[in-house]
Each structure stands twice: as C-alpha cells, then as structure tokens.
Amino acid sequence: MRAHVVRVAVMAAVVALLLLAVPLAVAIRFTFLADERDGLERDAMAAVVRVGPDFVAGDPVELPGSRGGVRRAVYDASGALRSGEGPSPADATVRQALSGRVAQARSGGELVVAVPISSQERVVGAVRASTRASRVWGRVLWGWAALLALCLVALFAAVWVARRQARVLSTPLEALARTSLAIADGDLTARADGSSVEEIDEVARAHNSMVERLARLLERERRFAANASHQLRTPLTGLQLGLESALANPDADPRTALAEAAEQAHHLDHTIDEVLRIATADDTEAAPAAGQPVADLLRAAERRWHGVLAQDGRRLDLVWEPETERLSVPGRTTDQILDVLLDNAHRHGAGTVTVTLRDLGTALAVDVRDEGSADLDGQAIFDRGTGAGTGIGLALAREMADAAGARLTLSGRAPTRFTLLLPLDENT
C-alpha cells in the first residue's frame, strides 16, 4: 500500500509541476527575449541622441559606449553604413526604420533593433543595435535550469511528504492486518488500536465490534456444549442403568422399565430445552418456564436420585409442609437446578442429603443440605472452572436461576447447604 500511495502522490505532483513549469518556461523565454530587445532599443535610442542629424552634413559620427556584446551601426537615408558594426548595405530591419518606425527582428542568429533618426519631421538615417541570440538563449537556459532545479526540489519534497503520509496511512492498516491474523490464529483477545486517521479508526472500531460479537458467540457455543454435556450426562446414565437393569433381570416388569425410561426421556427433553433457553437468553427474550407444583418436582427428583445415592449407602430425605405442595414454581428451571444441587451433593458432599421446602410468602425457598463441608466461599464456588469437579454445574445452576428471576446462594458451609429462592407463580 505504501508504494501505491507514494506512486499516486508522485504522479499527482509531476502533473502539477508540469502544468506549472511549462507556462513558466515559456514565460521565462518570452521575458528574457523581450528584456533584451528593450535593452537593444535603449542602446539604439542613446546612439540616436548622441549622433543627431548633423552627421548628414558630413560630420564625423562618434557612437557612445554600449553594453558588452552589443554592436551598433549608423546608416544614412540611402541605407549606407556611416559608422559602427553592421551589414552593408542596410538589411531589412534598417530599411523598416528608415521608413519611420522602430523595427525589431531576428536575423542571422542575432536579435536586431533599428531606430530612425529624424530631423525636421524627416527621417535622415537610422541606428542599428544587435546582439547574438545565443547570448540571450544562454540566459534563458539558465532560467530554465533554475526552474528545473526548483521542480526537482518540489518533487523530492512531494516524495518525502508522500512517503510520510503513506506510512501514516499504512501503519494502522498493517497493524489491523496483524490483529486479524492473530484472531485467525485463535487469539480472540486481540484488538485493533486507534490511529490518527478517522476513517481507519472507524474500520478498527467495526473490526473490534465484530471480534467481540464473534468472541461472545464462540463463548456461548462453548458454554452450550459444556452445559449440555454436564446436564445430559446424569439423565443419560440413569436411562442406561435402568434399561440395563431391566435387561439383566428376566423377572422384571417391562412396563415398569419402559415407564421409567419414558420419564427419563421426558426429563432429557426438558434438559435440552432449558440448556437451549439459557444459550439464547442474551439474544432474545426467552420464554419463561411453565409453572408446575413444587411437590411434583421434588418427587420426580427423588425418583431420579434416590437410587443413585442409595448405591453409596446414603439417604435422600424430602421435607415440606403440606400447604406448600400445590405452590407453583418455574418447572423446568427448578428441575434442572435441583439436579445440579443433588449431583453436587452426591459427588462432593457426605452423609444424608436433605431437601427442605419453605414458604416465605412472596417466594419459596428450597434448601439442599448434606453433611459435608464447602471449601470455597459463597461467591467463588459459583465461578466456572473452580472446585474439584468440572466447575460447570453450580455456575450453570446460578445462570439458570438468574434467567428465571430466582436466586441461588451458598447459605451454609459446614454442613453444606444451598438455598434456591423461587418466585411463586402469579396464579397460585
């Protein structure tokens, strides 16, 4: 790009210099020739004044001194050379002067001026002044040389300015290209810097905005993949174990196994819907989860997790007051958060897991407690990538709670207790 900018600027400078230099060169030539003719005319007039009309009577003619390189001659009315240096007989320029007017001409490589000598309103002779044209052309060439030198200086200045401007224009674009290459190599933290050129800054800002959106989209895709993997693992494992158990026991009722498989598949469907809802929550307003009686959700969670905890010799207790059974809460969201909390208690907790339901009037509190202890504080435990596991579950649970207008906190560390505050459905 730098070479292109310099080339365009130099071409523009050359065109401008040509448009300026050619008329100036013509003007220099015209001016120098005109000045020399005026000088010759002044020399001739000075000779006319000195000679006077008396030379006609035969008086000797004495010409005054003149500039170097100028030859002068005096002619009588018949065109005969009377004094000085000049052609004999008189040339056309002298004959024009003898007719009563100042004559100028170029003849034989000379610039010639002839001025008439008058006496009593009658032309009695003429003075001829001449100089070599090469002498004038020498001055013209020196003038042209000076003009050419000025043009070269201007051209070099234009090249210097063009290179400087090319650097100003190309440096931020080259930096933008390097930033784009870094992003293409996977560095989504790379950002284009500003410059002194507003148009390039607009491109940089648009580029940075595009990269930020791309980074958000990629991060959302990664989170979706991680969330889906985390949330689908448990129901798929339960579905697989249930089917394998039914196949291993020939006396098992297939209808019971199919019913459990259907419930697990239904839960899988809800899990996928909830993960997708979280993934699109930043772009569009996600539809709120449908309300369900909280007791039904707790019983369904007990069916999913009772056997899992029992395999490790642990109990799962549900505690709620009868009047809270029919209270409605966001169904799918609550279901998924309960799975995360029970999975966390299973993997990182100890002893009996107790789920307690409390009516707070404007909200419903669901406590999930085990007999273990939490090593992290109430904020860090919800950060992605923290803890002994994948660091996804609790972070995802909080995201789902926030998306549903609920609140999930660590309300106790020893023993570990998580509290989910759920907004009650307006129809309950």
The Cα–Cα gap between 276 and 224 comes to 7
One domain for residues 139 and 38:
yes
One domain for residues 314 and 338:
yes
Domain boundary among 235, 253, 287: 287
One domain for residues 273 and 297:
no
One domain for residues 298 and 270:
no
One domain for residues 110 and 98:
yes
The answer to whether the beta carbons of residues 113 and 40 sit under 8 Å apart is: yes
Grouped pLDDT means (10 residues each) for the chain, 428 residues? 78 89 92 89 85 69 73 87 85 89 86 88 87 87 92 90 82 84 84 80 86 80 66 66 71 70 67 66 52 83 84 89 80 81 88 90 88 81 69 79 86 89 69
Structural domain span for residue 304: 288-428
pLDDT on residue 282:
55
The answer to whether the beta carbons of residues 169 and 200 sit under 8 Å apart is: yes
**Quick check: is 160 in a domain?**
no
**Quick check: is 352 in a domain?**
yes
How many C-alpha atoms does 99 have within 13 Å on its Cβ side? 7
Domain boundary among 123, 151, 179: 151
**Quick check: is 424 in a domain?**
yes
3-state secondary structure of 123: strand
Give one word for 111, left, alpha or beta, with left for phi > 0 and alpha for psi -120 to 50.
Answer: beta
The Cα–Cα gap between 291 and 424 comes to 9
**Quick check: is 167 in a domain?**
no
One domain for residues 337 and 219:
no
The Cα–Cα gap between 202 and 357 comes to 56
Helix axes 331-348, 254-279, angle to 10 degrees: 100
Question: Which pairs with CB-CB distance under 8 Å and at least 24 residues apart come from 2-9?
Answer: 2/163, 2/166, 2/167, 2/170, 3/166, 5/162, 5/165, 5/166, 5/169, 5/170, 6/159, 6/162, 6/163, 6/166, 8/162, 9/158, 9/159, 9/161, 9/162, 9/165, 9/166
pLDDT on residue 418:
92
One domain for residues 140 and 204:
no
**Quick check: is 181 in a domain?**
no
One domain for residues 40 and 140:
yes
Residue 90 CB neighbour total at 10 angstroms: 22
The Cα–Cα gap between 278 and 401 comes to 10
pLDDT on residue 86:
86
Q: Residue 42 sits in a domain of what CATH number?
A: 3.30.450.20
Q: Which residue has the tokens 């940075």?
A: 208
Whats the size of the chain, residue-wise?
428
**Quick check: is 225 in a domain?**
yes
One domain for residues 377 and 295:
yes
3-state secondary structure of 121: coil
One domain for residues 297 and 212:
no
pLDDT on residue 77:
85
One domain for residues 379 and 369:
yes
Whether omega for the bond prior to residue 415 falls within 30 degrees of 0, making it cis, is yes
What is the DSSP annotation of 52-120? -GGGGGTPPP-PPP--TTEEEEEEETT--EEEES--SS--HHHHHHHTTS-EEEEETTEEEEEEEEEET
One domain for residues 319 and 407:
yes
Domain boundary among 272, 287, 302: 287
16 — phi, psi (to 5°)? -65, -40
**Quick check: is 177 in a domain?**
no
Q: Residue 388 sits in a domain of what CATH number?
A: 3.30.565.10
In 3D space, the residue among 381, 389, 364 whose CA is nearest the CA of residue 417 turns out to be 381
**pTM score, whole prediction:** 0.48
Domain count across the chain: 3
**Tell me, what amino acid is at 346?**
H
Q: Residue 270 sits in a domain of what CATH number?
A: 1.10.287.130
Q: Which residue has the tokens 């400078």?
A: 13
pLDDT on residue 288:
52
